[in-house]
Amino acid sequence: MTDPSLYLKNLWYFAFHGSLLKNEKLVGKEVAGEKIVFGRDKNGVAFALRDNCAHRGVPLSQGWFKNDTIQCCYHGWEFGTDGVCKNIPALPPGGTVDVSKIKVFQYPCKEINGTVWVYIPEKKLPNVEPKLPPPDLILAKDKKFLHVETVTLPADIDHSVIGLIDPSHVTFVHQSWYWRSAKKLKLKEKKFEPTPLGFKMVRHEPSKNSKGYGILKGGTSTEITFEIPGIRTEHIKIGEKHEIISITVLTPLNEKETELTHIFYSTLAISRWLWWPLKRLGKQFIGQDLGVFRKLSEGLKSKPTLSLIGEPDMQARWYYEIKRLWAIAQQNNEPFVNPVKPQTLHWVT
């Protein structure tokens, strides 16, 4: 049985890039251990419902979808995109059953810059209202991200988050001639501040031993933010006019798998000319993470004692404390108080 503390509730989770959601097509997906069916209504607006027919529990994603009506493949029950039952074919004419009182749970769902997000509430109440807005992806509303790559990590959300925010693995996992080398380690000093749902590495000049940043000219600076449930945003400014937005987001599927998706945006004209090489580079980076996570999953089978040591692992300790206090705040219906304080961390990488 899945540990209920593994998943945080009353938060927005990334589902997928909007290009995967076609008109009159249903997409079933597991998010934080919950089976959800996604689709678009006749106006192109994304929706999300519990992926079970209210009759016998058959996945609605296995049924048919046409004219804003989802029909179950088992007994043909029909539901609107709001989850309300519209028709039960087996009922004889003139019956007294008010089928509109039957409803499949509807999850709040939003599409932001071409990416689809779903809100996982603490309680499945009718007409649930999110306690907070969808995440700020920095990008202007009329802009869309380019999808780079999605992989499934063989790890739960906690191990995946720690891997995402761990600064000391980068040199050893992502070694490349055009990026950085394990032979050129340097002492790093980074200032951190709390954010509403996590923490950020205060805007700074990128590391000089990272060749990837070296091609960016004109007063380059970067700010890296992490917020629960698993969103890492890197915002790079190049001079006064240009920016790069690189977001890596984690979606827990179940207790053994977490989906990692990297989405990217740039105002630099050269990035559009170099899109295919950039996409290949992004795929290589994620592939390197996937490779080490496969090794991690093998090691975890023996259930070893794990540890978090010193300042390089401070962000991981922040994550666990933020997660613990967020869960308590939701259970008690109290405001969340971020435990992270402004601090300077040091590590060698």
318 domain residue, yes or no: yes
Average pLDDT over residues 232-250: 88
Percent of the chain with pLDDT over 70: 87
Q: Collapsing DSSP states into helix, strand and coil, what is residue 160? A: helix
User: For the chain, how many structural domains are there in total?
Assistant: 2
> Which two tokens mark 50?
């519990």
Side-chain half-sphere exposure of 305, counting CA atoms within 13 A: 0
Where in the sequence is the domain holding 54, given as residue range(s)? 4-120
Residues 108 and 157 both lie in one domain? no
Q: Residues 113, 206: one domain?
A: no
Confidence of residue 277 (pLDDT cuts 50, 70, 90): low
Residue 115 and residue 23 share a domain: yes
- Residue 137 resides in a domain: no
69 with 170, same domain?
no
**Listed range (44-58, 59-73, 296-310, 326-340) with the worst mean pLDDT:** 296-310
Q: Is the pLDDT of residue 218 over 50?
A: no
Last residue of a domain, one of 72, 103, 120: 120
Question: What percentage of the chain reaches a pLDDT higher than 90?
Answer: 64
Is residue 241 in a domain?
yes
54 shares its domain with 175: no
pLDDT digits (tens, 9 = 90+) for 51-69: 999 999 999 999 999 999 9
pLDDT over 60 (residue 302): yes
Task: Of 313, 300, 11, give the one whose Cα is nearest residue 153.
Answer: 300
**How high does pLDDT run on average in the chain?**
88
pLDDT of residue 42: 95
What is the Cα–Cα distance from 98 to 281, expressed in whole angstroms?
A: 56
Q: Residue 341 burial by CB count (10 A; 0-12/13-18/19+): exposed, middle or buried?
A: exposed
Same domain, 110 and 217: no
Question: Pick from 86, 120, 154: which residue ends a domain?
Answer: 120
Range name among 10-14, 192-196, 280-284, 339-343 with the lowest pLDDT average: 280-284
Q: What is the CATH number of the domain that holds 30?
A: 2.102.10.10
**Together in a domain, 287 and 207:** yes
Q: Are residues 208 and 114 in the same domain?
A: no
Which pLDDT band, with edges at 50, 70 and 90, does 278 fall under?
low
- Predicted local distance difference test score (pLDDT) of residue 266: 83
Q: Is residue 127 part of a domain?
A: no
208 pLDDT more than 60? no
92 and 186 both lie in a single domain: no
18 in a structural domain: yes
Is 17 part of any domain?
yes
Identify the weakest region by mean pLDDT among 4-18, 121-135, 153-167, 196-210. Answer: 196-210
CATH number at residue 181: 3.90.380.10
Q: What is the pLDDT of residue 271?
A: 63
Residue 130 predicted with pLDDT over 70: yes
pLDDT, average across residues 234-261: 91
Residue of higher predicted confidence among 61 and 215: 61
Statement to judge: residues 236 and 294 lie in one domain: yes
- Look at residues 102, 120, 92, 131 and name the one whose alpha carbon lies nearest to residue 35: 120
Closest CA to 15 of 111, 149, 81: 111
Q: Model confidence over 314-331: pLDDT tens digits?
A: 999 999 999 999 999 999
Do both 323 and 175 map to the same domain? yes
Residue finishing a domain among 120, 155, 182: 120
**How far is 206 from 6, CA to CA, in rounded Å?**
34
For residues 49 and 168, state if they share a domain: no
Q: Average of pLDDT values for 184-207?
A: 88
Has residue 205 been placed in a domain?
A: yes
On whether residue 141 sits in a domain, the answer given is: no
